[in-house]
Amino acid sequence: MLRHAFSKILFILVVLLFISASGCIQEKQETPELQPVSDEYYAKMDTVLYPYMQTVDEQMQEITALVWETARELDGVPMDDPAVDLALLKLKSEIPLSFDSGRLDKDNVLRAVTNEQYIEWSVGTYIGENQYTEEELKAAGENCTISPFTLFDNGEQGVMVIAPVYDANGNFDGTLQVALDVGYLFSGPAEELRTKYGYTVWAVQDDGIVIYDEDTQEIGVNLTKPTSAYTPSLNSAIADILANESGQTSYIFYTLDWHDINQTNAVWSTLDPGYGQNWRVVLIDNVPMPRMTSELTVTQDELKAFVTNAYVYARTHEKTEALAAFNDPKGEFIDGELYIFAETLNGTMLSLPYQPALIGTDQWMAEDTTGVKYIQRQIARAEQGGGYVMYLYPNPTQDFATELKLAYVMPIDNEWFIGAGIYEHNTLLAHSTSVDWQKRNELIKQVRTMQYLAEVEGVSAVTDMMMDPNSDIQVEGLYPMAITENGTVLAFARNPDIVGTNQLGRVNSLDISLIREGISLGKEGGGLMYTLLWDSTLNKEIFILVYVVPADDDAYFASFMILE
């Protein structure tokens, strides 16, 4: 084991040394002087920041109110009562930004949780993080307590929303806790800032821990511990932001992997999400935007051939030699926006020539701005033998602006795989780079509500609701469906002709089966994915965003929204 670990470290160091020598990791440039910024310019930024802050604040108020209300419903209910499980599942359905909800006793032992995948090993275990005494919770009054930024056991990261629960005699009986995706709390409405104004945001706790950044590698970083990438003006700006509830500043910032340095102008204010935390929300300019173009520089056939050529190279050379070639910025496996990436089947990055700092890091939980865990989708396709995957990703030839990417992946062996991608310049989604975050939340809420109703009324009752256009689960612009584990469609009102038929082998123009991929995603506990679907009314394929959850041991619920 020790020899294996040493070999892995040595391999990573050799690759990084090779990349540095090749010029992919550039030396820091001379830091320019800050240029003056007018009060009018800062004031304009403020007029954009405050409505954004209000949007985030309203979401948090709604979330904390739901948690507090559910905690009061659980007062006096024994922790082994089945009503607790139903209350937790209902709460999760009402909060699309939640990862999980759980009931802990006063000794911080987990007694109930919504995620079926974790019940067997987590229920009955002591939870060491986010412990609060009865006195600390009482100090919050009738408000939820918000934990510091936390890395959860399942690899997700966010904050806990916590409310006390009392027994029938009014004695403290533990807590109700909801794990919240604080990243999408900010990134959903932040996409509108980018597309409408050319701004974005980052957010930090008042202790310096970054809780949201468009560059996900910055999330969890402690800004009070600067690195060599921090300029003096950035250090000064950080100190100012943490010391004051609001203000304005400018700083010189190194862009992704020190490829460039630019002046960034910022305004900030403070959000009170609940008892125990204050979040500084920083609005910044100098945001890269994709250039409007309809030109496809690389075709899908050329993409597939490019990856196939790299596959042959990897199969006929030693792994270290192949990875060195894939990471060589002047080699045959990189051509503008077309380049080879490589990963292990557990999510460790092996090759990424435009972002070498990520090599050797665990990217299993990486997700795009919509919440699609694209590394996990790549791995799922690789394990099926290879194929196409869609997600939003920074385009290195567009100043790392986010665009829709179509990747093709191939497994090398049972340990690692390779891929490459092209950016879909000729689609509406490519230029807006924004998915309607409110509709996305409605999508998740609809599917989780169906999951909750299945526990209460049964799967067949829910499939009947799906086919009934007047049922309470119907939402305009969303299209629910149910499938069995073997691919038989149980319900789909948008196309009732396929109900009762097996659609496992039905694929789109990218050879992607919506049903097969949905089942794969459901088996992993559920989540979001993009795909193409034939629309007979428009007589063409359309981009859709799909959300899937397990319904029971043999079926899955899903729904989708159209992205164009």
Distances (CA, A) of 92 to 61, 97, 394: 16, 9, 31
Using DSSP's 3-state secondary structure scheme, residue 70 falls into helix
Burial, 286: exposed, middle or buried (Cβ in 10 Å; 0-12, 13-18, 19+)? middle
Residue 135 burial (CB count, 10 A): 8
Fold agreement (184-284, 300-423)? yes
User: Architecture of 184-284 per CATH?
Assistant: 2-Layer Sandwich (3.30)
Which CATH fold topology does 300-423 show? Answer: Beta-Lactamase (3.30.450)
Q: How much is the pLDDT for 346?
A: 96
Handedness of CA 58, 60, 63, 65 (dihedral sign): negative
CA atoms within 13 A on the CB side of 13: 6
In the chain, which stretches have pLDDT less than 50? Answer: 1-28, 257-258, 431-432
CA atoms within 13 A on the CB side of 361: 13
Question: Residue 64: which H helix or E strand, with range?
Answer: helix 39-74
Q: How much is the pLDDT for 122?
A: 80
Q: How much is the pLDDT for 202?
A: 97
CATH number of 437-562: 3.30.450.20
The string of DSSP codes covering 165-219 is: EE-TTS-EEEEEEEEE-HHHHHHHHHHHHHHHHS-EEEEEETTSBEEE-SSGGGT
The string of DSSP codes covering 118-148 is: HHHHHTT-B--SS---HHHHHHT-SS-EEPP
Using DSSP's 3-state secondary structure scheme, residue 21 falls into helix
Q: CA 538, CA 388: separation in Å to the nearest integer? A: 24
Q: How much is the pLDDT for 25?
A: 40
Using DSSP's 3-state secondary structure scheme, residue 22 falls into helix
Written as six digits, the tokens of 548 are 């899937």
Written as six digits, the tokens of 146 are 């918000």
Residue spans of the domains in the chain: they are 55-182, 184-284, 300-423, 437-562
CATH of 55-182, one of 3.20.20.70, 3.40.50.2300, 3.30.450.20, 3.40.50.300: 3.30.450.20
Amino acid letter for position 538 = L
Sheet holding 555-562, edge to edge: 489-492, 478-484, 555-562, 540-550, 527-535
Q: CA 100, CA 386: separation in Å to the nearest integer? A: 31
Place of tokens 């795989």: 417
Residue 423 burial (CB count, 10 A): 27
Residue 349: phi, psi to the nearest 5? Answer: -75, 130
Q: CA 93, CA 212: separation in Å to the nearest integer? A: 24
Q: How much is the pLDDT for 292?
A: 54
Written as six digits, the tokens of 439 are 């509709």
Q: How much is the pLDDT for 458?
A: 97
The string of DSSP codes covering 518-540 is: HHHHHHTT-EEEEEEEEETTTTE
Question: Residue 453: which H helix or E strand, with range?
Answer: helix 437-457
